[in-house]
Amino acid sequence: MHKLLFAIILFFLVGYAKANNDSLLYKRTSYFLRASLHNGSIFAHSKRVDYSANAPVLGFEIELIRQRLDNLDAHYNQKGFVSGFGLNFFYINNTVIKNNVNAFYTLESNVLKTQKLNLAVKACAGLNFISSPYDSVNNQINWSYSSYVNAFLALGLVANFQLNNNQSIGARLAFNHFSNGAIKDPNLGVNFFTGALSYQFKIADNVKRPLNLKRRLKRFEGRPNLQFTAFATYKSSTVNTEKFYLINGFAASYNLPFGVKKGHSLAIGVEWLEDRAISELFNHAKRTNANNQRVGITVGHEFLFHQFTWGQYLGYYIFKDIPEMDNIYHRHTIAYKLTKSWSIGISLLANNQKANFTDLRLTYKLVNRKKPACMLPDF
């Protein structure tokens, strides 16, 4: 009876949508090209990278971005957002840090929106390509990076002013970072601040594509749940950059979805890990009784997309035997849902501006499977 009632309701809703509002059945998107010029300088966050302090940075960037015109993704931000892909080139006036190219995905989420002006938070993540990494024979001075390919991250504030329906200009302040995620040491990373001016123009307006109704009619996971994660990685040590050591651990968290249509989640958890790269440092320092394990508690926020989860967490070590390491750390995770219960992902753990390690993880979600008597479609 419930299935029959659901089918009847769905039939009339779809019929009403076809007659009155095709935005319920089509994804409507406008596309833009944006060109930006960057100017800034390197921030030397450690005495070991003083060779790069205040080095000038100039950059050019091109982005292909899209703006949704329908209301199907409004549960992420009622004020709207844009997303897309970009490529930039940074010239760095320094003898150690070389010029580099970055390919990235970007997301801008509006915090203030008027008829002409948008203020947004902008995040970028992708790959960095650079030459002259650390080499124990030919390039011992470079403690900033030791890989030709690294991770690129950027976070900033953007102001866009609309000139007309097709063009806009903008200004941005950004903090940029690249490193290899501590897969190989030394890896103190490169941090630089930039300001940018941009020009944006529309290349396609109101492009309509049919929606995958089967996927769109599925509800987001709106119920609280428990998650259990196993993670592991290999990384080198600063005392032996040629050998890689196992890091493994387990985590558990309580996740509480919230917000409009449950597009966000609050996560509170605990994690344990064993770091054999730290053991190598202990052996080198003749600290034979030191413990290579750590236990931390975390609290964080997650964006719940249909197949992906993007999480940011702040942690505090309640146990560690490493006085040189801060008690406070942060973790950033992207996970892909294989099924309703299982997901795989990648995560970066960092202390302040320095990456500690990047791991691969497998997560199992335990949730109450009891469903309401009837569920209306979630357009």
Q: Which of 175, 191, 210 is where one domain is finished?
A: 210
Same domain, yes or no, for 191 and 248?
Answer: no
Q: Give the pLDDT confidence score for residue 236 in this predicted structure.
A: 80
User: Do residue 245 and residue 358 come from a single domain?
Assistant: yes
Number of separate domains in the chain: 2
Of the candidates 221, 212, 265, the one whose C-alpha atom is nearest the C-alpha of residue 379 is 212
User: Does residue 274 share a domain with residue 316?
Assistant: yes
pLDDT number for residue 221? 61
Burial string for 142-161 (b: 16+ CB within 10 Å, else e) reads bbbbbbeebbbbbebebebe
Whether residue 312 sits in one domain with residue 362: yes
Q: What's 101's domain CATH number? A: 2.40.160.20
Evaluate whether residue 376 is within a structural domain: no
Same domain, yes or no: 224 and 270: yes
Contact 32, 69 (CB under 8 A): no
Structural domain including 241 reads 218-367
pLDDT in tens, the chain (379 residues): 444 444 444 444 444 444 444 445 677 889 999 999 999 999 998 888 999 999 999 999 999 999 887 766 666 667 778 899 999 999 999 999 999 999 999 999 888 988 899 999 999 999 999 999 998 888 999 999 999 999 999 999 999 999 999 999 999 999 999 998 878 888 889 999 999 999 999 999 988 877 665 555 454 567 899 999 999 998 887 777 778 889 999 999 999 998 767 788 999 999 999 998 888 888 877 787 889 999 999 999 998 877 889 899 999 999 998 888 899 999 999 999 998 899 999 999 988 777 888 899 999 999 766 554 444 344 3
Identify whether residues 195 and 66 lie together within a single domain: yes
Query: Do you know the residue count of the chain?
Result: 379
What's 247's domain CATH number? 2.40.160
- Does residue 17 lie within any of the structural domains? no
Residues 100 and 192 in one domain: yes
Domain co-membership, 126 together with 184:
yes
The pairing of beta strand 149-162 with beta strand 26-43: unpaired
How distant, in Å, are the alpha carbons of 1, 57, 94, 134 from that of 98? 68, 11, 7, 12
